[in-house]
Amino acid sequence: MVDSLIENYTNSGNFHSDNLNSNEKKMPQNLEAEQSLLGSILFDNKILEDIPTNFNSQYFFDPLHSSIYEACVSLTDVSKLADPLTLKNYLNDENLNKDIDIEKYLLDLREGVLSLSKAKFYAEEIRNCYIRRSLIRIADELINKSINPKIETTPDDEISETEEKLYNLAEKDQINSGPLDFKSVLASTTNQINEAFTRKGKLSGVDTGFSGLNRQLGGLNKSDLIVLAGRPAMGKTALATNIGFNAAKSNITDKNDPILIFSLEMSAEQLAQRILAEQSTIDSHKLRSGDIDEKEFSKLVATQNDIYNLPFYIDDTPAISVGQIASRARRLKRKSGLGLIIIDYIQLIQGSKASEAQGRVQEVSSITRGLKSIAKDLNVPILALSQLSRAVEQREDKRPILADLRESGSIEQDADVVMFVYREEYYLDKSEPSQRDNENQESFNERFTKWQDKRNSAEGKAEIIISKQRHGPTGIIQVQFEAKFTRFMDLVQDNRLPDQIY
């Protein structure tokens, strides 16, 4: 009966086969499965409960079948019956041929059902045909672009773009998501609010390992681009590494999602050495020089064994492009999952040829837009480090502000969070007073004492300054910094507990 139904349907002219090109006619399709699935739904609306939740109306090859499925879902979502009589009034769009008797066609679909139990297998077959059609379109587009290349597009760009489409197809079953109706967005938003309510104050994002930062940000949240900036010697690489490693330790007891760090400035071995120094509390300089005793070496081996299996990945490829970052991150997520991406640092990422020709500001703008796109695409937070301009050094107050970001317009605009790391101790060490000409000893001693008191007060302390947060408050969080271990920690003071925000 299904075969005769298809023949009658296609002969009626509703299926627009004449309007399809020869390649489209050869596209993978299974109209029998589409009709059998829709017939099952019309026979018993509860069949929709057996269909995978990610099944989408765009999977149907025939536009009319897609419209019928959407109408069935819309009616059942509001607890209404979806049958040939109720559906006919909702099927009056451009997908319908005016010559077809839609009510009769819907009745034929329902009467043609042979087995309700096979509905989920029909849905799987329909999805498989859609995936194959999408693969053909991706391959066809790649062939056309490779035969007719654009001057500003490199082969690596084509690889990255194609890989992104394949990733989206594999992860989301869609090449372009397109507009979402407010009902769908509202349902997703409500689920997020419900999840936040059930957490009862627990972190919504990736654990940074710093209580003040966690409270202020709620952790590093999915799809956010977080920029951490600072002048050289402030410890931004150390702080980012500490955050990444804390997240890896937290994840191993939770989701076990890997942390991926792109180290464009330091080698993987140098970064690992920093981590070993921090975790073993052995002076990093002693590790570099090999000047450690047997006790320290045993401590080092024990630390290595403790952290050996942490989900922490390092990519130290120099001058890597945004496309390569996206490609490698997608590959890791497909293989092992992904919890956080750290990039050290933005100004060392290689820009595209087109943006490079337009100047450095445009190049960095293209890079930050690309990083934000990766964060959204992979639904993971990206912590990207950035250099600051020398304008900081020319002010009396060395605390950085947003305007100090190099190429600040694009970075500030694209980032969801902008943080600065600032250590007053560093600047005080550089400004140790010396006796001026014609200055008496008493006056110099007074100046030196003031400097020394200020220096002692700032010793071992650092500030994480949150200057922009799209979804929350800004502020300053004080932390402790141990330079010889390249380690940041929560600050413990006599009148403050380490889990307070400063």
Cα–Cα nearest to 237, from 278, 288, 207, 291? 278
At 356 the pLDDT is: 61
At 6 the pLDDT is: 46
Distances (CA, A) of 299 to 292, 303, 307: 10, 6, 13
Statement: residue 455 has pLDDT above 70: yes
Statement: residue 499 has pLDDT above 50: no
Statement: residue 370 has pLDDT above 60: yes
At 284 the pLDDT is: 79
Phi/psi for 120 (5° steps) reads -65, -30
479 pLDDT band (50/70/90 cuts)? very high
Highest mean pLDDT among 166-170, 198-202, 456-460 belongs to: 456-460
**Mean of per-residue pLDDT scores for the chain:** 80
Statement: residue 401 has pLDDT above 90: no
At 472 the pLDDT is: 84
Cα–Cα nearest to 15, from 127, 131, 100, 84? 100
Statement: residue 385 has pLDDT above 90: yes
Least confident window among 147-161, 378-392, 414-428, 487-501: 487-501
Q: Which residue has the tokens 């040829």?
A: 353
- Strand-strand pairing, 340-344 and 417-422: unpaired
Least confident window among 125-129, 220-224, 430-434: 430-434
At 288 the pLDDT is: 80
What is the Cα–Cα distance from 96 to 67, expressed in whole angstroms? Answer: 9
With helix as H, strand as E and coil as C, how does 50-81 read? Answer: HCCCCCCHHHCCCHHHHHHHHHHHHHHHCCCC
The radius of gyration of the chain's CA atoms, rounded to the nearest angstrom, is 30
Q: What are 351's two structure tokens?
A: 């820009």
Task: Give mean pLDDT, residues 253-279.
Answer: 83
Statement: residue 3 has pLDDT above 80: no
What is the Cα–Cα distance from 288 to 286, expressed in whole angstroms? Answer: 5
265 pLDDT band (50/70/90 cuts)? confident
What is the pTM for the complete model shown? 0.68
CA dihedral 438, 443, 446, 447 (to 10 degrees): -40
